[in-house]
Amino acid sequence: MTDDTPFWQRKPLDEMTRAEWESLCDGCGLCCLIKFEDIDTGELIYSNIVCRHFDDQTSLCQCYDERSRKVPDCWTLTPENIHELTWLPETCAYRLLRDGENLAWWHPLVSGDQNTVHEAGIGIRHNCISEEHVHVDDWQTFFDEMTAEEEEDAPDQPDTSTGRA
């Protein structure tokens, strides 16, 4: 008799193969967004400014294997550090599984389709701007303008804030 239970439901994170671990990434791109921390509250606020290595067409890192060298503050998620990372988006498969939750219907491992993460409105593809196009001195101004626009739209639209660490 074979066990048809998906690996993510039967294996703890620290027992997954590298291929299984890597397949948990849904390709949303939220972890590639620049985040701000409110110094008064400690709240993490996601911008829509994305790392220069994020490919907006594929939602993949253009230098994935070298990302930690090219971007020193880019975190490489591992079974060893996953429990320390508080900035992971609520929709992140690593966070969900770490916290005993299951994957959402739109996750490619569940749906069988890499595009459902974007169809569900979770992915940032085509909804971000590369840090290459926003001078670091303008990040705060850019962020303030973005926040003001979201506040104007708030009564009519649900919060679709997205989230790089």
CA dist., res. 93 & res. 84, Å (int): 15
Provide CB contacts within 8 A for 69, sequence distance 6+: none
Residue type, 32: C
Q: Would you list the domain boundaries of the chain?
A: 7-142
pLDDT in tens, the chain (165 residues): 467 899 999 999 999 999 999 999 999 999 999 888 888 888 888 888 999 999 999 999 999 999 989 998 898 999 999 999 888 999 999 999 999 999 999 999 999 999 999 999 999 998 889 999 988 887 777 666 655 565 565 444 334 344 444
Query: Contact at 8 Å (CB) between 54 and 71?
Result: no
Of 129, 133, 158, 132, give the one whose Cα is nearest residue 146: 129
Specify the amino acid at residue 90.
E
Mean pLDDT, the chain, integer: 85
